[in-house]
């Protein structure tokens, strides 16, 4: 009989030993993020340095999940939150993504009181705070940085060689494209292996054809997706696809930026994280690469903001609050952003620490109209984004505008009331 009991005990012990969770240690603050590329990781390390200085009693631990735009990190985060094992804080895009995936299901605690206690509420750009403010008026995460996504990057050397200028209107854009095509240069670099870059391009064209009021109206239901600007944007996308590199489906966004660096393509529509790539290969701003807004979107700022929130039921609340305080601080934002290649969400940056491009972006940000990005989760729920990516992925091959508009109308009915 004793052997029977022993056998049961032993095998049970094995199971328990395998399943026992690693116990969290006292002063550690676990932070989930998706910053694994060269410049991004360095920026996070710089922010960690500031955190250690300001709060020496805590030690930050980075749980990074690789993958651009955080698509895989989101899957990990939802799994951990549903499983009741939240990290102390995590990276999340401000806007729809924060609310549909994290706040509405009840995973998050508001941080309004903390921001007021630290007296930093007025230091943030109010329009950015609107992106993280819920219907209940509470703020649910602390914005760390702002990326601009309606940037047209140019290979300045190619433009100079052919005596061309960066276009300002859509019609000019196609004239320049045609001239480049005749000169044997790929006009527009695209890398849509991961689907979202097509949507990224499309949303910028939508902003150009619809203007910011109508574009923003799509998300509160005051404007419908059968708006003529949507159809026009699809027509422009259709035309533009004739000028992209033929291997676009085999490249990711970095592959497309590489075509610019290798002098094979002249233009690339990408967020300003692409500048980090250009600087990593020692390119000089204005000499080797240049930038302008996507034609037709001047005066608008398509915004992507990385924020950090405070989940419910965390193991180290003091540590998490200390971390958010560092994220909200001027020192923290000015340590992180120049390296990351983004601008701070605060209105009082130490401008001298930023690159020429970022300084121009800081200036634009102060006066431009803000619009939320679909591809980067700020505008619409993820179900809508992922289906729109599917639809555009088929559009790239089939180029059927009527069919595509019908399908976009269907998913808009499904996901946006």
Residues at the site binding other proteins, with contacts judged by CB under 8 A: 1, 3-5, 7-8, 10-12, 14-15, 71, 74-75, 78, 82, 100-101, 104-107, 184, 186, 192-195, 245-251, 262, 264, 381-383, 385-387, 390, 393-394, 396-398
Give one DSSP letter per residue of 375-392, joined into a string. TTTSSS-HHHHHHHHHHH
In the bound complex, what is the minimum distance in angstroms from residue 379's beta carbon to other proteins?
A: 15
Quick one: 6 or 366, whose CB is closer to other proteins? 6
In the bound complex, what is the minimum distance in angstroms from residue 415's beta carbon to other proteins?
A: 9
In the bound complex, what is the minimum distance in angstroms from residue 252's beta carbon to other proteins?
A: 9
- Quick one: tokens of 124? 């943030």
Strands 59-64 and 28-33: parallel
> What's the DSSP call for residue 371?
E
In the bound complex, what is the minimum distance in angstroms from residue 257's beta carbon to other proteins?
A: 15
Per-residue CA distances from 225 to 201, 214, 215, 235, 401 (Å): 17, 10, 10, 15, 13
Quick one: 67 or 212, whose CB is closer to other proteins? 67
Backbone φ and ψ of 60, nearest 5°: -75, 140
In the bound complex, what is the minimum distance in angstroms from residue 410's beta carbon to other proteins?
A: 11
Distance CA 103, CA 2 (A): 53
Quick one: 109 or 316, whose CB is closer to other proteins? 109
Q: Could you list the beta-strand ranges (E) of 6-58.
A: 28-33
Quick one: 10 or 367, whose CB is closer to other proteins? 10
In the bound complex, what is the minimum distance in angstroms from residue 411's beta carbon to other proteins?
A: 10
Around Cβ 348, how many Cβ atoms within 10 Å? Answer: 12
Quick one: 76 or 347, whose CB is closer to other proteins? 76
Quick one: 104 or 350, whose CB is closer to other proteins? 104
Quick one: 250 or 356, whose CB is closer to other proteins? 250
At 187, is the secondary structure helix, strand, or coil? strand
Dihedral over alpha carbons 48, 50, 51, 55 (to 10 degrees):
150
At 169, is the secondary structure helix, strand, or coil? coil
Distance CA 48, CA 69 (A): 21
In the bound complex, what is the minimum distance in angstroms from residue 101's beta carbon to other proteins?
A: 5
In the bound complex, what is the minimum distance in angstroms from residue 34's beta carbon to other proteins?
A: 14
Distance CA 188, CA 343 (A): 26
- For 6-39, letters b (16+ CB in 10 Å) and e give eeeeeeeeeeeeeeeeeeeeeeebbbbbbbebeb
């Amino acid at each position: 009989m004793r052997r029977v009991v022993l056998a049961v005990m032993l095998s049970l012990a094995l199971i328990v030993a395998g399943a026992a969770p690693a116990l969290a240690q006292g002063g550690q603050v676990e932070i989930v993020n998706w910053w694994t590329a060269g410049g991004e990781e360095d920026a996070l390390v710089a922010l960690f340095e500031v955190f250690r200085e300001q709060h020496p009693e805590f030690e930050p631990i980075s749980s990074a999940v690789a993958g651009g735009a955080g698509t895989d990190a989101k899957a990990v985060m939802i799994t951990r939150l549903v499983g009741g094992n939240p990290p102390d804080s995590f990276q999340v895009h401000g806007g729809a993504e924060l609310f549909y995936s994290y706040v509405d299901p009840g995973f998050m605690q508001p941080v309004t009181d903390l921001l007021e206690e630290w007296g930093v509420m007025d230091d943030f750009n109010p329009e950015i705070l609107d992106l993280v403010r819920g219907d209940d008026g509470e703020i649910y995460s602390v914005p760390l940085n702002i990326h601009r996504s309606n940037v047209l990057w140019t290979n300045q050397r190619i433009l100079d060689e052919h005596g061309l200028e960066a276009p300002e209107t859509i019609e000019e854009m196609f004239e320049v494209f045609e001239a480049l095509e005749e000169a044997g240069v790929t006009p527009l670099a695209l890398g849509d292996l991961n689907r979202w870059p097509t949507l990224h391009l499309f949303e910028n064209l939508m902003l150009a054809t619809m203007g910011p009021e109508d574009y923003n109206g799509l998300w509160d239901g005051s404007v419908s997706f059968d708006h003529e600007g949507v159809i026009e944007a699809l027509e422009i996308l259709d035309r533009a696809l004739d000028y992209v590199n033929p291997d676009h489906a085999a490249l990711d966004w970095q592959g497309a930026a590489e075509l610019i660096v290798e002098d094979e393509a002249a233009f690339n529509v990408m967020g300003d994280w692409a500048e980090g790539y250009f600087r990593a290969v020692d390119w000089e701003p204005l000499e080797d690469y240049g930038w302008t807004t996507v034609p037709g979107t001047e005066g608008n700022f398509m915004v992507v903001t990385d924020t950090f929130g405070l989940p419910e039921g965390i193991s180290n609340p003091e540590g998490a609050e200390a971390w958010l305080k560092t994220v909200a601080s001027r020192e923290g934002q000015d340590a992180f952003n120049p390296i990351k290649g983004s601008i701070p969400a605060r209105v009082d940056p130490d401008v001298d620490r930023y690159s020429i491009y970022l300084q121009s972006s800081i200036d634009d940000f102060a006066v431009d109209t803000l619009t939320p990005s679909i591809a980067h989760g700020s505008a619409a729920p993820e179900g809508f984004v992922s289906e729109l990516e599917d639809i555009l992925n088929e559009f790239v091959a089939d180029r059927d505008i009527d069919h595509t508009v019908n399908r976009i109308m269907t998913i808009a009915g499904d996901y946006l009331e």
